[in-house]
A and B are shown apart, each in its own frame.
Chain A
Amino acid sequence: MSGSWLIKGAEVAGSGGLAVADLLLTGGTITAIGAGLSEAGAQVLDASGLIALPGLVDLHTHLREPGREDAETVETGTRAAALGGFTAVHAMANTEPVADTAGVVEQVWRLGREAGYCDVQPVGAVTAGLAGARLAELGTMADSAAHVRVFSDDGRCVADPLLMRRALEYVKAFDGVIAQHAQDPRLTEGAQLNEGEISGRLGLAGWPAVAEEAIIARDCLLAAHVGSALHVCHVSTAGSAEIIRWAKSKGWPVTAEVTPHHLLLTDELAVGYDPVFKVNPPLRTAADVAELRRALADGTIDCVATDHAPHPVEAKETEWSEAAFGMTGLETALRVVQQAMVDTGLLDWPGVADRMSVRPARIGRLTGQGAPLAVGGPANLTLYDPAAPAEPVSAAGASKSRNTPFAGMPLPGRVVATFLRGTPTVLDGKLAR
């Protein structure tokens, strides 16, 4: 499938909005963009009515391999990513063993290359074993073949302020970024659900917004103090967005992401105690959702990241407090963003390209990903049909796990095709190989 592809009549998301054009992909590169292109021998894809976006980049994916191959593998997770329109994902470090050495990050990186559905950029742990006690060998991971630049103890917070300061300082040596899972551990002991009306009614231990906001405020101050890059994972509260807006107004080197589920779902969904809605950070209130959407629209929050967190059935078919935290999200992310951001008029398609491809790639220090669609640029792109009728989401997808909170929920749109360096990974909504 390495020949040329001619994509006819796509609506190309560029800085000036959408413009209808043909795209010619040759040798992994976009070799021409324009009207009425033709190329002998090229395979032709009629893209009329489809939006062409630069291939989506996810800053926050749990691929579970090594260690929990019953939930997901690099291969199944990247298939799900491709079907969701992604051409690159950042694989989080909380595997078994933890990705805290060059050996583990190189293994994950190689598995991604072998699978070939999208680029897999490993994230390294900040602390050895995610234990929060001493730094992992950050420089060695940075120098490895996996070329790690994003470091995160995601799933756990780097709660020790001194260790967080040192981590931020240390990664300046190789242009690294610390992606913080902001959760004060003492304020969230045993916490199950956003602390508010619903948690009180359901008798589930409350997870206060301040547990997230206090850590974000502290980390913004630390990042400013040492002049190093902080990225805030899965921002979930209105207050967090306000703090980040304030930090950015100071010119501090802070970026942030929001998940699709925090853009659409609220803690009201927990009333049936179905742990498919149990996630860390928890679903919040409708007021938080509205504020997160606004913050993503105005750029306070830089990007959408899925926090795709697959779990086997038995981890969710249980009592709420026993169940695992997390939701899958790769296959539904773009459809959710259309519903929450585009169909509401908050973001246009060039804005989606910015928040789901350009900015996450920049934060992740990826080269060859997240470039706006332009002649000479990498042929990573996603073709999306926003007019596809809203279909209920199926729990069964390419991911090995089925813990999608959107199951049965009608979502608009459809990813029609994904190209990774000129080669289709998805065609007509199905894996191309």
Chain B
Amino acid sequence: MRNRVIWSIFVTVWSIAVLAPVSLAQTVQTQEGGQGRGRGGGPRRNVPPPPGPPHDSHDLNGIWLQYGGGFGGAAGGRPKVGSEWTKDELPLTPAGLSKLNGNHSGKGPRADVPAKGNDPLSGANVPGLLRTLIYGRPFEFVQTQDKVVQLFEWFRIWREIWTDGRKMPEDPGPRFYGYSVAKWDGNILDVETFGLDPRLWGDEWGMPFTENMRVRERWHRLDRDNLELNVTFTDPEYYTRPFASETQRFRLQTKGMADAEMLEVIFTPMDEQDFNKNIRDPSSLGIAGPKSGVRNANH
């Protein structure tokens, strides 16, 4: 009898101590975590990181990495008509919804196998500004007297954010990374971006936009280690009203950290075609690849 009591207590305590944290972690991974960067389940995106020492907010220089994991295959419980940028449903017009429905991604709440999709990335096209900003690979800000240069690890591409007082040109597009002008609003770099090429997607899930979308980015360095970005999207043809992103948080990467040095990450057509032939198409379509076989459907 005594042994049964001890055993029951052991089972109960073990279950709570071991399984509950795993379940929570898995829930976090499924809902908000995951591995947008191929990492282990990191902190949730909507949990502020620890503060750092004070720092000049007008100094954005440094290599920054998004804080918090990706959404994983389960899309973090986001709405079907949703985006990685916001937890709310996208306020789409009928034209915008039609465009969204025509964008078939391998990720997110409307995901299908990539071989059946039309993700522009599958053809080794560049991801463009918006998708790069939400994706979670490191970037570096380098400030000069008249501009802030943002260097992106993903595709090893950069853009200029002009701070010399110039006005936005009337028709700067189409550009995959847009045309950006900015001014300081107190401690916040207030950026206007226009002229984005609408053939690309606004996020990994196929968020649509037109060539007339205006993007307002507000970059705020809180302290030495922490940077925040809030974005407002205005695109009357596809969205019934301007809508705001959730706050995106970034951590400074310093020497010794894995992301303190940006790598060369370039998807070329020759590599993309090879990957599609060997991995994407066989896995999606159930066909033999040049170097792999297939079992029958009843395996």
B is bound to A: no
